[in-house]
Amino acid sequence: MIFNCKKLAEDELERLKKTTRRNLSLGVIQIGEDKVSEAFIRQKKKSAGKIGIGFSHYRFPETVTLKDLKEQITRLPDDGLIVQLPIKSDLETQKVLNLVPFEKDVDVLSEASLGLFYTGRLEIFPPVVGAVDKVLKEKEISLRGKTLVVVGPGRLVGKPAAIYGMRKKATVITVNEFTENVAELTRRADVIVTGVGKPNLITGEMIKKGAVIIDAGTSKKDGHLVGDVEIESVKEKAGFVTPVPGGVGPLTVVSLLENLINKCTT
């Protein structure tokens, strides 16, 4: 079964609309040009507008220095700030992410925010983890005692998803590019979360019947946005699979906006 998350995302936006302070604003910092990033930024702007949150898009050239960027960011008036990834520059990504003040870090990507999340002391989730949490709750699936396989160790999906799984008392297995016999591991999984950005990485023969597959990978194939899952072979075997587009992407944006609201009301 394919679980399209758009309806759930719309319902969640309606819920947030009732709790939104109308003067809140989200700022998105983009360094360099990237067409895929532009599409994601438009999605954030559209969702923010639906619930009355202001939106600012700040563009910086690839040649911007860390010093200049820091000076500019300190002047930005928005209640929440995010850096749109990937960064199209030679700047070290984590150093750029660390420029976002903790009180405005709604993406949970600065070292200050990540440290609190990893130690269980942060009251908000990284947005992709928030999306995964919403999917599992909607389907009334508990991770307690389940085997969770996280494919890909990335900062946006893999690392926070693995921490989330351990916190939910799952047996967590992480897979990276050096892992051997990946299919043997994924066939053991009750739940798979993947966020690599490689088309057709997960196929039907790599999963057990009834497994839950949450696809948070994004890449371009033949001009279209696709996930990590080969959907045709997986959908007949999985308990359910989230598609790309229309899966966790809209819920990730919802979780981002929810973080903004929560940070500004606590």
Count other C-beta atoms under 10 Å from residue 7's C-beta. 12
* Tokens found for residue 103: 């009180």
Strands 224-226 and 219-221: antiparallel
| Tokens 């700030």 belong to residue | 81
So which residues are the catalytic ones? Answer: 44, 84, 107
Radius of gyration of the chain (CA): 18
Asked whether the predicted pLDDT for residue 266 surpasses 70, the reply is no
pLDDT at 117 over 70: yes
Q: For 216-239, what is the mean pLDDT?
A: 92
Q: 19 vs 91, which has greater pLDDT?
A: 91
How does residue 84 score in pLDDT terms, banded at 50, 70 and 90? very high
**Over residues 41-47, mean pLDDT:** 96
Task: Name the one residue in this structure whose structure tokens are 């371009």.
Answer: 220
User: So what's the pLDDT on residue 19?
Assistant: 86
Between 34 and 181, residue with greater pLDDT: 181
Q: Residue 78 above 80 pLDDT?
A: yes
pLDDT of residue 34: 87
Average pLDDT, the chain: 95
Would you say the C-alpha torsion 77, 81, 84, 89 has a positive or negative sign?
Answer: positive
Query: Exposure of 191 by Cβ count < 10 A (0-12 exposed, 13-18 middle, 19+ buried)?
Result: buried
Residue 80, SS3?
A: strand
Domains of the chain by range and CATH? Answer: 22-101 (3.40.50.10860), 127-249 (3.40.50.720)
pLDDT 10s digits, 143-161? 999 999 999 999 999 999 9
201 contact partners, CB below 8 Å, separation of at least 6:
151, 194, 217, 228, 229, 230
The CA distance from 41 to 44, in Å, is 5
Q: Is the pLDDT of residue 162 over 90?
A: yes
- 21 vs 257, residue with greater confidence: 257
* pLDDT, position 21: 74
Task: Locate all alpha helices (DSSP H) within 18-109, ordered by sequence.
Answer: 35-50, 66-73, 93-97
In tens, the pLDDT along 185-216 reads 999 999 999 999 999 999 999 999 999 999 99
2-15: per-residue pLDDT in tens? 998 999 999 999 99
Beta strands 147-151 and 191-194, pairing class: parallel
Average pLDDT over every residue of 108-136: 96
